[in-house]
Chain A
Amino acid sequence: MEERPNALLLKFPGTNCDGETARALETVGFAPRVVPISTATPDDLDGVSLVVLSGGFSYGDYVMAGRLAQLVTRQKLGDALRRFRDRGGYLLGICNGFQILTKLDLLPHTSLVDTISGRFQCTWVKLAKHGDRSPYLKLLPEEFELPIANAEGRLVTETSEQAKALVEQEFAALTYVDNVNGSFEAIAALQDETGRVLGLMPHPERFLYRRHHYDPDWNGDAEWGWGYYFFRSVYEAIVNEPALAGAEA
């Protein structure tokens, strides 16, 4: 009988991609559960393999995107997410989730700020993989497409050298092939040294099925889009490490 690893989606007021992200997780084999932050406690992480911060506008993002969500997460969960990471848990932030993650000190220090055009951008982008550390990207080709939709997706570091170092040391898991938002070194996704913590601006959950693509002839009769392979990769990484799948606090 198939054991479904547990995935926990934290939902803040204004989180709005939890439904389709849960659908994607369910489709690849996880047992997802959406937990509103008002009820969240460190105990919710027990028996969980993957924690997802999905997209949206937590608390409206009226101050810097993700800042209030970070404060509330600290208040509610303390350092439980860090302990979860330390015991082998996987932590994924998508779009607004990435913006929150950058403020939780679980990724190399960066900021996501207004795109260089000053606009919200809802479009598809081509992405390039870097290195083979990421368990989220194993089943994906060297280049692939995903949609983005954000106004604060421009990844910056205090100095340009720091951004270069992120690429050289393979903290940059994905870069934009065309740098649509002016990110330093065109960085689209960032991971920690283990690869288990990943933040990315593109939305893999929006390219679950082939028919999510804008071109009706994309990839012939394939059933799945690249987003499926993204979530399936991390699913396989988890089920192939049984010690992690049942990790206890």
Chain B
Amino acid sequence: MPEAASATSIQPKKPTYQHIPFLHLTEAELVDLSGRMKLSLSGEDMLAVQKIFQDWGREPTDVELEVIAQTWSEHCKHRIFGATIEHTTASGTETIHSLFSTYIKGVSERIMARKPGFVLSAFHDNAGFIQLDEDKAVCLKVETHNHPSAIEPYAGANTGLGGVIRDILGAGKGAKPIASLDVFCFGAPDTKPEEIKADDVIHPLGIMRGVVRGVRDYGNRMGIPTVSGAIQFDPAYIYNPLVFCGTAGVIPIPDIDKTMSNGLRVIAAGGRTGRDGLHGATFSSAALDTESHEEDQQAVQIGNPIEEKKVSDFILAAREEGLIEFVTDCGAGGFSSAAGEMLSECGGEIWLDNVPLKEPGLISWEIFISESQERMVLAVKEESLPRLKELADIYETELTELGVADGSGILKVLHHGETVCELDCARLHTAPTKHLASTFTLTATESAGAVTSASWAEDLKAIFADFAIVSREPIIREYDHEVQGNTVLKPLAGAAGDAPQDAAVMLIDGSERLMAMSQSLLPEWGKTDPYAMGQACMDECFRQLVAAGANPDKIALLDNFCVGNPHDPAELGALVESVKGLADAADAFNAPFVSGKDSFYNYFETSEGPVSIPTTALISGIGIVEDAAHVTGASLRRADSYLAILGTTDAALGGSVFARVRGLGDRLAVPGTDCAAALDLYRRYHGALGKGLILAAHDVSEGGLAVALAEMAFSGKAGLEISLDNLPVNGEVGAAARLFAENSSRLVLEIPAEQLDAATEHFSGVPFAILGRATGGHCDLRVEWGKETLLHTSISELKSLWKNGLTPYY
């Protein structure tokens, strides 16, 4: 073992660990111990741990209990997605053996078998890869950082983005991060303080400002463009804000596969280890309460993006020189997770006395599980060490020899020569299967009937001023979305540079192909019909990618779930239904999941009882754009073009912004989605892009067709003359639904005048209609249906409402 470096002089002089009297504890005593040590392990888990040590005939050390708690935490092991669930609905009870294996992985593996060669890696690495071209692959990973952001919004979001960037650096032998996305769910910024029913909860405005600045300061300093995102505002997120951070990367295909082998040296690179971020993994596997805001401060890490930029430069240079055999990031659980994962099969030794520390006084287990940021763990050949040290010096990052892989199958942690942890990897990674019960009852089955309005224009204005719709421009402009010089479809674009787009599209250095990136979440739908939400989120994300130019047969998706209390059968039931919706949609779209993550315990004990978030699924995706000519924005480009709709409009108004703004109640049925039919439409659309029949395309989503049309016209190029007489509809569809329904699978298309006939011909046989044209004669949105003028309103007035809606708050 090498001599400890001078940087470790603040190391404790001797190992600081203890054996815990454990073998003879009762279940009640075990539960008490779990609470005192903040292990977040249940009585059942603690009994299983006790059994392991009874088999070995010795008491555990505190280090060993901490390692097991990290490894078995919900955060690291996803044990609810692996649980056996008795799911009960009106049609009976079924037993689901692992939501993950059955629906996410199971469906994806079938899809991968149907399109071999597209997915190059899924589910086992830090991010999944899909093929970009002959030489390169792209990946995307999305993580949540909800609990830390609730307590310390700036640092929580800062390290949330920092963490997912490290996932990309730790994917394959080190992918290059090329773009980020960020999705937030907050309470409304104008929430009245008296509506918050607990002490020490940060007001949504403070959460929003802190979170945005946290993302800004990490992403901008790393030089990774933040190109895509979304924000949902809902009172259900006041106590438990959600912060999703995602990053995409690119890698040469031969560098995707990585393997551990005996004799490889384990090294750490990047930041030093301190007390920040102790128990992050176990903390995020429990609910929040008022005490959390005081007690769990140490669970929130402190970010230093320049430290990460240096380690990023180092990793990418080392990978290009072929010096990396294996790499993973230090995230939740710190070295115990990273090294534990790396050594999970072959086993090995870790030397804690070599770890450079930020501060004196850390004891053994703290060093091993600290979640201090900006650390990567690599496995390298011994002969590569001298060059790696040179590279670390060049990029001014710290490199430490942490241990060695030895083929023993045992994770052995040494501190000053004493063994503080010795665990059989096979047992370490076998946590007991949880058994849970869930129920679901569909209550939202009503029809809105014939909805009338004194003024559809006033309804439209109310929608455009709603937090659900208003422009995110003040936030988007705080993110550097153009660094790296590859953002060709920007989050705000069109002739005036400030109109909304459906997806971001990135050039990839060294490739003729591009990557589109987008996401969707519809928690409003999920409150009443989580299955429909699952399908609609998949459709929306997929559709946005296709609209922007991605080939519909080259799209990969990610699922991120946030749930309240999984031990509440109704909340777990909503999760089960949404997973089923997602899986059915993935199967129909032939679009595999390549990565995913879940976050539970997003509920809060207020003075008026527990408040849970609605089950929230975020679907994000990447798609391959095969030709730069396919890149298509969502903004009107000409003053003489035709506007058309692709897809069928449904009468259902459940889940829509219109229904909420007009107070139509929460029992309205939400629309279903026919994903197989949608895929046909999208392939037809993609064919039209290849023929040059499309100038612009915008998805119909929140706010419905009226909002989509107006948003297209926000480029300022022209007014619109629209008739809804020929709108393809499903059954009896009144004016409200024609204007504002939010059912899936619809795109508004701008077609050049000279291609009208060709486009009509191209789209024959699918739901498609010319709705009207752009005009240079005025700057209004005019919408007629039969003899009635539904809307005649100034586009600039709508744009002003939309553009300025968030500015008073950010």
Contact = CB atoms under 8 A, between A and B. Distances in A.
Given A13-B309, A212-B488, 16 more contacts: A13-B395, A14-B306, A24-B485, A36-B396, A57-B306, A60-B305, A120-B477, A122-B477, A122-B481, A123-B497, A149-B480, A203-B485, A211-B631, A214-B490, A214-B492, A215-B494
A55 B495 CA distance: 27
Contact of A14 (B221, B483, B492, B495): B221
B482 A203 contact: yes
Nearest to A60: B306
A14 B482 contact: no
B223 interface: yes
Contacts of A61: 221
Contacts of B488: 211-212
Instruction: Give the residue among A20, A120, A216 with the most B Cβ atoms within 10 A.
Output: A216
Interface string B214-226: 0010001111000
B484 interface: yes
Contacts of A203: 482, 485
B637 A119 contact: no
B223 A13 contact: no
Contacts of A14: 221, 306, 309-310
Interface of A: 13-14, 16-17, 19-20, 23-24, 36, 38-39, 55-57, 59-61, 119-124, 147, 149, 203, 205-206, 208, 211-212, 214-217
B306 to A, nearest CB: 4
B395 A36 contact: yes
B486 interface: yes
A120 B490 CA distance: 17
Given A38-B393, A149-B482, A216-B637, A17 B477 contact: no
Nearest to B493: A214
B633 interface: yes
B257 interface: no
Contacts of B479: 120, 122
Interface string B591-634: 00000000000000000000000000000000000001001010
Contacts of A214: 490, 492-494, 497
A166 B313 CA distance: 38
Contacts of B10: none
A23 B482 contact: no
B489 to A, nearest CB: 9
Size band of the interface chain B makes with A: 35 or more
B479 to A, nearest CB: 6
Contacts of A36: 313, 394-396
Contacts of A56: 221, 223
Contacts, number: 104
Contact of A59 (B306, B631, B637): B306
Nearest to A21: B485
B478 interface: yes
Interface in B78-97: none
Contacts of A212: 485, 488
Given A60-B306, A206-B485, A121 B477 contact: yes
B478 A38 contact: no
Contacts of B222: 16
B396 A215 contact: no
A66 to B, nearest CB: 14
A55 B492 CA distance: 22
B486 A20 contact: yes
A219 B633 CA distance: 17
A5 B506 CA distance: 30
Looking at chain B's contact residues, is the secondary structure mostly helix, strand, loop, or mixed? Answer: loop
Nearest first, the 6 closest Cβ-Cβ pairs linking A and B are A16-B223, A20-B485, A60-B306, A214-B497, A149-B480, A214-B493
Nearest to A227: B485
A57 B497 contact: no
B509 interface: yes
A208 to B, nearest CB: 7
Nearest to B486: A20
Given A20-B484, A215-B497, A119 B492 contact: no
A13 B394 CA distance: 10
Nearest to B478: A120
B485 A123 contact: no
Interface string B274-304: 0000000000000000000000000000001
Instruction: Give the residue among A16, A24, A38, A149 with the most B Cβ atoms within 10 A.
Output: A16
Nearest to A215: B495
B628 A211 contact: yes
B485 A208 contact: yes
Interface in B464-489: 476-486, 488
A38 B396 contact: yes
Instruction: Give the residue among A23, A121, A206 with the most B Cβ atoms within 10 A.
Output: A206
Contact of A39 (B216, B394, B481): B394
A60 B221 contact: yes
A59 B310 CA distance: 10
A205 B485 contact: yes
25 contacts: A13-B396, A16-B223, A20-B484, A36-B396, A38-B393, A38-B394, A55-B483, A57-B220, A59-B306, A60-B221, A60-B305, A120-B216, A121-B477, A121-B478, A122-B476, A122-B480, A147-B482, A205-B485, A206-B482, A208-B485, A214-B490, A215-B493, A216-B633, A216-B637, A217-B495
A198 B208 CA distance: 39
Nearest to A58: B306
A23 to B, nearest CB: 7
A221 to B, nearest CB: 12
A24 B479 CA distance: 23
Nearest to A119: B478
B486 A217 contact: no
A113 to B, nearest CB: 18
Contacts of B494: 214-215
Contacts of B485: 17, 19-20, 23-24, 203, 205-206, 208, 212
Contact of A217 (B220, B395, B480, B637): B637
B477 A119 contact: yes
A205 B310 CA distance: 22
Contact of B306 (A13, A24, A122, A217): A13
Instruction: Give the residue among A14, A19, A55, A59 with the most B Cβ atoms within 10 A.
Output: A14
Interface string B632-667: 010001000000000000000000000000000000
